[in-house]
A = this chain, B = another copy of it.
Amino acid sequence: VQESPRPAPGPGRRARGALTRESIVATALRMMDTSGPEAVSIRSLAEELGVGAMTLYTYFRSKDELYDAVRDHALSLSPPPPADGPWEERVRAVMGGLHALLLDHPSLVRLLVARPLAGPEIARLTEAQLAALRDAGFDRATAASVHVTLVYHLLGSAIWETQRHSERSTATVAGSVVVEALPAGEYPTVVDLADALARTSGGPAQFAFGLDLVLAALRARLTRP
């Protein structure tokens, strides 16, 4: 036997006793950010941690439970939303913080869209947003509907950004609509606006544009209902 069967824990390899739910989740998130979400599986994560695949089932009941924990951990990295101040700024803080987080951790999008939105961090962010809307003066039903509308905006933009980055082909893409070889006779407006779509699509500016539209409509509702 020339090599020790169990290598000593070195950099990037964790001491055996140090394996915890937290360290597993942190490693999974780092792996997703580094190598993409598709590179993380129970088996590959276990290998990265230097343990057998089945070891992870000591800490999590299933892959879904592990991924839910990763999502919650990632969401906890978003800045704590302000509890007072003008309602509009508070909504912008929650939404902007989440959008920035999703740009930092694009792999998080998969975890958000694949499973029901639940967990303590989701509850914390929902609480902050609903409180801001109630303080603005909206009744319960309206506050709930506005909140869901804002969640749509966040989820939609997250998907959109992910799709754009997943497009690695050399085809000309205008706002994820491939316009290369698009017959101008059939789709004149798409072709005419290809540059505008390519320039405006995605990112914080596009996110703010849509958010501003919703907030403007809400301000109008409050002043003359």
Report A's interface with B, CB cutoff 8 A: 113, 115-118, 122-124, 126-127, 130-131, 134, 140-141, 143-149, 151-157, 159-160, 163-164, 166-167, 173, 175-179, 182, 186-190, 192-193, 195-197, 199-202, 206, 209-210, 213-214, 216-218, 220
Looking at the assembled complex, report how far the CB atom of A176 sits from the nearest CB atom of chain B, in whole angstroms. 5
18 A-B pairs besides A116-B166, A127-B189, A216-B217 with CB distance below 8 A are A115-B166, A116-B164, A116-B167, A116-B178, A117-B176, A123-B179, A123-B190, A134-B189, A141-B199, A148-B206, A149-B206, A152-B152, A152-B160, A152-B210, A153-B153, A155-B160, A214-B217, A217-B217
Chain B residues lying within 8 Å of A123, measured Cβ to Cβ, are 177, 179, 182, 186-187, 190
A157 interface neighbour in B143, B146, B152, B189, Cβ under 8 Å: B152
